């Protein structure tokens, strides 16, 4: 054993002898291979606890660095954190080679602590997000007292993976959470399910603590949520005071309240505001929804066992199409591993928004983005859900102020603020805070999802033919969006909406060309005269066609406009895009 470690042991000897229970520590040391069964027997044969402690220390002084580290780790795991800290500064350095042998970045000790606490392992295909991980670790280092770290972000942004990764750190565990890291997956559940989850956590904690102290008894499972909360409070306070509880994927304030027991908690959620209803110190980390392009490509490459530089050209397009969503990239990567020739097909599937085909069973809660999104929307109140679905009218990459939504929803500005806050908190909507007033926008994937959801609803509803007057209420926004935009003085946005062939196609299909023509006349004064002329001309010439069902191909129709027309220009672009997509 190196000199520093040896003298530290000698200095701390009397404190250690006073407190440690050798029998607990020896189990760990035997499993680390630094103590033999014979040695253990000899120590156990000593009549008193103190003599056993003295004998263990005596033996330890004759052993090597590895034994010192194992003894230190055993102290940490047995909640002798104060004693472990006496030895901490003299811990011998482990060679980099030895550290590397733990392939997932943690030391053997870290792996043992995390697996005991039920923390999931890294996904098989994994890329590191060092800046984010460090941000979470930094918050955890500061969590000296009971309190909460919220890790929030949209569905599939990698929150659970990140939370587990942040805990996978030797220094963090030994310095801050020597009592362990205890993971509990939550998800959407009712009170009875929640009780079962807490019962199983209590059982796990009691069992582990009984292994360490056979004199402590196992209790019958708590019978009610209140009892479960008290049991957990007792366990965390008395048996695991220096530990971290990780609650993965919390949806509901009633759930988080059940864990308001004065301990240190990290939880992942889509709803940023959940921490508001519990007590203690709070901090939060936002998880960006997308990976950097390089990281996303690396995931694809790992799935297909190739090098990122050698991926086919569609790889970049796939990443771009889903904005680097870890969930979608992994889902597609997993599919490509099975069907390596399908790059173009999956790219096309993504472009067509056929999310339901991008399915792959996974060990995580949601195996397809649509399910994850649908689940997010499902938890909104009915009223908010309807308002959220109205957001389909937002155009891609257009950010709007609250005022527009106030006219769209016909609500008072204060009410709108509340609704928007709810959506932003649940990662269903994004807020651009660089502008005053704030601007709101949807992630492309969310917009696509909403459009898809609405389209199938509309298709189903109107498969019998164009809507009758009784159906018009649900088409409110298609009808009045232009009106509301004009009223809110969003001239520029109104122009880009009305001068878009996509908008013309959708509105004509749902409401018929007459409404569209009416819009161009109505807002003629604020639209560019020449471009307005192009669209009006197109509609007047093709109005009868646009009444037909099946609905004609608008791009084809528009290509017969003069070259100088804006309608022609957009149609040409779309036709070219179709051609390159194949």
Quick one: which H or E segment has residue 441?
strand 439-441
Q: Per-residue x/- marks for ligand ADP, 319-348, CB under 6 A?
A: -------xx--x------------------
Q: Dihedral sign, CA of 407, 412, 417, 418?
A: negative
- Using CB under 6 A as the binding rule, whether residue 158 contacts ligand ADP is answered as yes
Which residue in 268, 376, 482, 542 binds ligand ADP (CB under 6 A)?
Answer: 268
Q: Which three-class secondary structure state does DSSP give residue 409?
A: helix
Residues 6+ apart with CB under 8 A from 193: none
Q: How many CB atoms lie within 10 A of CB 325?
A: 25
Token output for 181: 């890291």
User: Which range, of 118-126, 386-394, 463-471, 534-542, touches ligand ADP by CB under 6 A?
Assistant: 118-126
Tell me which residues in 485-504 interact with ligand ADP (CB under 6 A). none
Q: Per-residue x/- marks for ligand ADP, 359-378, CB under 6 A?
A: ---x-x--------------
Tell me which residues in 274-303 interact with ligand ADP (CB under 6 A). 299
Residue whose CB is less far from ligand ADP, 227 or 444: 444
Instruction: Judge whether 29 and 20 are in contact, CB under 8 Å.
Output: no
Phi, psi of 48 (to 5 degrees): -115, 160
Q: Which residue's CB comes closest to ligand ADP?
A: 158
DSSP-assigned beta bridge partners for residue 360:
none
DSSP-assigned beta bridge partners for residue 244:
181, 264
Instruction: Judge whether 428 and 420 are in contact, CB under 8 Å.
Output: no
Residue whose CB is less far from ligand ADP, 318 or 387: 318
- Using CB under 6 A as the binding rule, whether residue 264 contacts ligand ADP is answered as no
What's the closest the beta carbon of residue 325 comes to ligand ADP, in angstroms? 8
CA distances for 180 relative to 44, 79, 239, angstroms: 27, 9, 11
Residue whose CB is less far from ligand ADP, 165 or 519: 165
Which residue in 157, 349, 536, 561 binds ligand ADP (CB under 6 A)?
Answer: 157
What's the closest the beta carbon of residue 254 comes to ligand ADP, in angstroms? 21
Residue with tokens 């005269």: 529
- Using CB under 6 A as the binding rule, whether residue 160 contacts ligand ADP is answered as yes
What's the closest the beta carbon of residue 222 comes to ligand ADP, in angstroms? 28
Residue whose CB is less far from ligand ADP, 168 or 239: 168
User: Which range, of 23-31, 123-131, 274-282, 566-574, touches ligand ADP by CB under 6 A?
Assistant: 123-131
Q: Which three-class secondary structure state does DSSP give residue 23?
A: helix
Token output for 85: 């800290």
The span from the first CA to the last CA of the chain, in angstroms, equals: 69
What's the closest the beta carbon of residue 149 comes to ligand ADP, in angstroms? 15
The Cα–Cα gap between 106 and 496 comes to 52
Q: Which three-class secondary structure state does DSSP give residue 180?
A: coil
Which residue in 55, 127, 202, 407 binds ligand ADP (CB under 6 A)?
Answer: 127
What's the closest the beta carbon of residue 290 comes to ligand ADP, in angstroms? 11
- Number of residues written out for the chain: 582
Residues that bind ligand ADP (CB under 6 A): 123, 125-127, 129, 153, 155-161, 268, 299, 326-327, 330, 362, 364
């Amino acid at each position: 054993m190196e000199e520093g470690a040896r003298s530290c042991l000698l200095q701390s000897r009397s404190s250690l002898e006073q407190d440690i229970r050798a029998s607990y520590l020896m189990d760990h040391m035997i499993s680390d291979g630094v103590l033999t069964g014979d040695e253990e027997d000899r120590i156990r044969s000593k009549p008193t606890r103190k003599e056993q402690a003295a004998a263990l220390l005596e033996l330890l002084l004759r052993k090597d660095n590895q034994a010192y580290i194992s003894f230190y780790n055993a102290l940490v795991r047995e909640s002798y954190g104060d004693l472990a800290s006496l030895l901490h500064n003299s811990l011998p350095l482990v060679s980099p080679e030895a550290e590397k042998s733990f392939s997932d970045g943690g030391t053997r000790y870290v792996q043992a602590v995390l697996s005991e606490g039920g923390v999931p392992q890294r996904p098989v295909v994994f890329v590191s997000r060092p800046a984010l991980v460090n941000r979470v670790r930094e918050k955890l280092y500061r969590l000296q007292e009971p309190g909460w770290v919220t890790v929030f972000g949209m569905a599939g942004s990698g929150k659970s993976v990140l939370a587990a990764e942040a805990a996978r750190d030797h220094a963090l565990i030994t310095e801050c959470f020597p009592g362990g890291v205890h993971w509990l997956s939550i998800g959407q559940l009712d009170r009875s399910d929640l009780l079962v989850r807490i019962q199983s956590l209590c059982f796990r904690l009691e069992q582990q603590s009984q292994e360490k102290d056979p004199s402590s008894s196992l209790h019958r499972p708590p019978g009610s949520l209140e009892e479960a909360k008290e049991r957990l409070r007792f366990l965390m306070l008395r048996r695991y005071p220096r530990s971290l509880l990780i609650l993965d994927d919390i949806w509901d304030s009633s759930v988080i309240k059940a864990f308001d027991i004065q301990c240190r908690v990290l939880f992942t959620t889509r709803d940023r505001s959940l921490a508001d209803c519990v007590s203690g110190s709070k901090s939060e980390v936002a998880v960006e929804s997308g990976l950097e392009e390089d990281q996303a490509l690396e995931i694809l490459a790992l799935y297909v066992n190739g090098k990122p530089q050698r991926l086919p050209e569609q790889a970049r397009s796939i990443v771009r199409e889903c904005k680097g969503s870890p969930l979608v990239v992994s889902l597609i990567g997993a599919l490509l591993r099975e069907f390596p020739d399908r790059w173009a097909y999956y790219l096309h599937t993504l472009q067509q928004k056929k999310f339901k085909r991008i399915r792959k069973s996974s060990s995580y809660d949601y195996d397809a983005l649509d399910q994850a999104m649908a689940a997010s929307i499902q938890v909104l109140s009915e009223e908010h859900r309807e308002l959220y679905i109205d957001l389909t009218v937002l155009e891609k990459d257009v950010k709007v102020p609250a005022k527009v939504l106030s006219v769209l929803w016909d609500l008072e500005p204060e009410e709108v603020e509340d609704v928007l806050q709810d959506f932003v908190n649940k990662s269903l909507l994004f807020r651009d805070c660089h502008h005053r007033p704030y601007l709101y926008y949807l992630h492309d994937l969310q917009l696509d999802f909403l459009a898809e959801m609405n389209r199938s609803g509309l298709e189903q509803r109107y498969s019998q033919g164009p809507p009758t007057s009784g159906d018009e209420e649900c088409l409110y926004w298609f009808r009045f969006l232009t009106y509301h935009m004009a009223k809110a003085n969003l001239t520029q946005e109104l122009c880009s909406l009305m001068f878009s062939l996509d908008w013309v196609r959708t509105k004509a299909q749902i409401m018929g060309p007459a409404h569209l023509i009416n819009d161009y006349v109505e807002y003629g004064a604020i639209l560019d005269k020449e471009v307005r002329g192009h669209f009006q001309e197109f509609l007047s010439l093709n109005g009868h066609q646009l009444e037909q069902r099946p609905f004609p191909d608008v791009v084809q129709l528009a290509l017969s406009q003069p070259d100088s027309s804006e309608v022609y220009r957009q149609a040409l672009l779309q036709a070219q895009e179709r051609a390159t997509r194949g």
